[in-house]
Amino acid sequence: MSTPISPLSEDDVREQERQNPSEAESSFGDILSQFEQEQAQAQALANAQAKAQTQEKVRSDARRDATVVAVRGDQVFFDVGEKMEGVLPAAVLRDEQGPIEVKPGDKLQVSVSGRDEEGYLQLSLIKIERPKDWSGLQKAFDEKLTITGTVTQVIKGGLSVDVGVRAFMPASRSGARDVPEMQTLVGQQISCRVIKLDTEKEDVVVDRRAVLEEERNKAKEEKFATLEVGSVVSGTVRSLLDYGAFIDIGGIDGMLHVADISHGRVAKPADALTVGQQLDVKILKVDPAKKRVSLGLKQLQVDPWSAAAEKYHVGDRVKGTVARTTDFGAFVELEPGLDGLVHLSEMSWSKKVRKPSDVVNPGDSVEVVVLGVNPADKRISLGLKQTLGDPWADVEAKYPVGAVVEGPVTQLKQFGAFVQVTEDVEGMIHVGDIVHDKRINHPQDELKVGQVVRAQVLENDRAKRRLRLGLKQLQPTAVDEYIAEHKEGDSVTGRVSDVKGSRITIELGEGVHAVFTSAEKEQKQEQRSGPVDLSAFSSMLASKWKGAGGPAAAESGPRREVLKVGQVRTFRIAKLDAEKKKIEIEPAS
């Protein structure tokens, strides 16, 4: 630092004038001018030194806490701990959200950069924060009050919300379904609730979903009070499930069951509805306790059953589509919302239908006959076999008793065998009508399925739809063969096989038996006149039998002989009846 120049004294000036009298007068002006310059330089140097010292002090304490003491116009005055106050233009008090309004007592961080012309300290803004109302947040947290905030941005795991301080809102508490919906909240003012507050760490967590749920519940309560069963309301399809659809009817979700969507069959709601679709529905039931509303759509449509009695009559032939099958039959859709039932018994005249799929399947187009209409119970009875014609209509005339039929064996049961006579008519052969002269335990002992047989019609009952057949009736018996080989008047030998009173049975061969005509006459006479002496009658016969005494015996008179089972005698055929398979004999002459 340079040494300041000392000014000349008045004695010095006089001494110079005495020594240089000629120059005194000319140099005085210059000397005075030099003096003034030196004085100005000295003052400037002193000011610079003072300013340097002040600036040195400011740099050593550049960062300071400043407290607002006054706001005048566009200037804000601060106390920075010096004798003089600092000043900042109000325009610099702003952040990314916009201007910040301050009031006396608010604190900011500043640096002192110098003084202005009026002597106030010139300040520069280092850090500014909006005033934090922790007391208000604490009250909102303690009393679970609803506050407002502004969503500033989407961050990891949720949203950043300005509620006077920076708060975090988890995505699960935002009330948004996904990130795109969360994006739409940025910049919006929302209502929320403080669910976590740590003032020391300045940790604040807020919840919007709880507020939304309370608002929705309140709206539901108000809406429920206005709902009336039977009224028609407008709604929007909100979601679709397998069993129905949820319809938003103004803040309340009502359930539209799949059975109430249409009078026609709807497999699943997605087949008839779409999410976002607007529609009118009828309120069927309201349960305020459970907060449930049942809705109906088909109730606003014309019920096809209302005109069923006028449209469908017994005997009508109509077409439809098999909608579904059950164990007992098949439902045929005649028109949307109107199904008729074809019972198992009405599917075939003769075929043993065990399940509907033996005849029809869902989706098949069929022609049926209306058998009955009951609109009150919403039932229509249908017949499938009636459209094919009754195969039993001409069976009685075509296959009378005694006629011979031919067909394959379709099934075997313990009691008999079934034979396919026509495509729709089966006949039954009883186990006792399969073979002659022996007893069988099961038809399979003589027959097998698929075997073609010839049988005779024994019974034809159209009312009971029964056709009884016999196999053995077409098979020749020993009696048939015997009758075919003999004629009336033939002499034959036989063995007495049975003697019961006056009735004598003679065995002419294996399985061939004849009755003694004279014995039958005597039996009738005995019934008319009383008992007959069998021994005398036998003696009379013995006189006629060959080998029983011959002519000599006859001449000597009748011999008494008692016939016994096992005796062999000669007879003459008196009568042959092939139809009745009967042989009558008399004593040989």
Domain 395-474: CATH class, spelled out: mainly beta
Confidence of residue 196 (pLDDT cuts 50, 70, 90): very high
Average pLDDT rounded to a whole number, residues 264-288: 90
CA atoms lying within 13 Å on the CB side of residue 107: 6
Alpha-carbon span 30 to 37, nearest angstrom? 11
Q: Could you please state the CATH topology (level 3) that the domain comprising 63-127 is classified under.
A: OB fold (Dihydrolipoamide Acetyltransferase, E2P) (2.40.50)
Residue 112 confidence (pLDDT) above 70: yes
Domains 226-300 and 312-375 share a fold: yes
Alpha-carbon span 472 to 455, nearest angstrom? 8
Pairwise pLDDT comparison (345 vs 1), residue with the higher score: 345
Confidence of residue 295 (pLDDT cuts 50, 70, 90): very high
Provide the 8-state DSSP code for 56: H
Assigned architecture for domain 487-587 = Beta Barrel (2.40)
Which pLDDT score, from 0 to 100, does residue 358 have? 87
Alpha-carbon span 303 to 282, nearest angstrom? 15
- Supply 434's token pair: 């399969």
Provide the 8-state DSSP code for 243: S
Bridge partners (DSSP) listed for residue 160: 153, 168
Pairwise pLDDT comparison (547 vs 432), residue with the higher score: 432
Alpha-carbon span 430 to 547, nearest angstrom? 48
Which pLDDT score, from 0 to 100, does residue 25 have? 46
Average pLDDT rounded to a whole number, residues 347-367: 86
Which pLDDT score, from 0 to 100, does residue 16 have? 53
Average pLDDT rounded to a whole number, residues 403-420: 91
- Using CB atoms within 10 A of its CB, is residue 161 exposed (0-12), middle (13-18) or buried (19+)? buried
Which pLDDT score, from 0 to 100, does residue 551 have? 39
Q: pLDDT digit string (tens) for 21-75?
A: 544 444 555 665 676 677 777 766 666 555 555 444 444 345 678 888 998 888 8
**Total residues found in the chain within this entry:** 589
Query: Is the CA virtual torsion 548, 554, 559, 563 positive or negative?
Result: positive
Which pLDDT score, from 0 to 100, does residue 525 have? 47
What are the helix and strand counts (H, E) for the chain? 11, 32
pTM metric for this prediction: 0.42
Average pLDDT rounded to a whole number, residues 96-107: 78
Residue 289: C-alpha distances to residues 65, 220, 468 (Å): 61, 12, 69
Provide the 8-state DSSP code for 489: T
Residue 327 confidence (pLDDT) above 50: yes
581 CB-near residues (< 8 Å, 6+ apart):
477, 479, 480, 483
- Among 297-311, 358-372, 508-522, which is the least confidently predicted range? 508-522
Residue 523 phi, psi dihedral angles, 5° rounding: -65, -40
Longest dimension (CA), the chain: 241
Q: pLDDT digit string (tens) for 126-146?
A: 655 555 668 888 999 999 999
| Average pLDDT value for the chain | 80
Which pLDDT score, from 0 to 100, does residue 513 have? 81
Alpha-carbon span 141 to 197, nearest angstrom? 7
Name the residue ranges covered by the structural domains of the chain.
10-58, 63-127, 134-213, 226-300, 312-375, 395-474, 487-587
Alpha-carbon span 413 to 431, nearest angstrom? 9
Q: pLDDT digit string (tens) for 543-579?
A: 544 444 443 333 444 444 556 788 888 888 888 877 7
Q: Could you please state the CATH topology (level 3) that the domain comprising 226-300 is classified under.
A: OB fold (Dihydrolipoamide Acetyltransferase, E2P) (2.40.50)
100 CB-near residues (< 8 Å, 6+ apart):
93, 94, 128, 130
| Share above pLDDT 90 across residues of the chain, in percent, rounded to a whole number | 30
Average pLDDT rounded to a whole number, residues 366-375: 92
| H or E element in which residue 261 lies | none
Average pLDDT rounded to a whole number, residues 374-399: 86
From the options 2.170.120.20, 3.40.600.10, 1.10.10.60, 2.40.50.140, give the CATH code of 312-375: 2.40.50.140
Which pLDDT score, from 0 to 100, does residue 562 have? 59
| Share above pLDDT 70 across residues of the chain, in percent, rounded to a whole number | 80
Alpha-carbon span 378 to 54, nearest angstrom? 106
What stretches of 292-428 show up as alpha helix (H) in DSSP?
Answer: 308-311, 395-398
Confidence of residue 266 (pLDDT cuts 50, 70, 90): confident
Bridge partners (DSSP) listed for residue 155: 158
Buried-state track 246-285, b at ≥16 Cβ within 10 A, e below 16:
bbebeebbbbbebebbbbbbbeebeebbeeeeeeebbbbe
Alpha-carbon span 450 to 10, nearest angstrom? 165
Which pLDDT score, from 0 to 100, does residue 55 have? 47
Closest CA to 256 of 264, 248, 247, 265: 247
Q: CATH homologous superfamily for 134-213?
A: Nucleic acid-binding proteins (2.40.50.140)
- Among 233-237, 250-254, 318-322, 378-382, which is the least confidently predicted range? 250-254
What stretches of 248-311 show up as alpha helix (H) in DSSP?
Answer: 308-311
Alpha-carbon span 238 to 249, nearest angstrom? 10
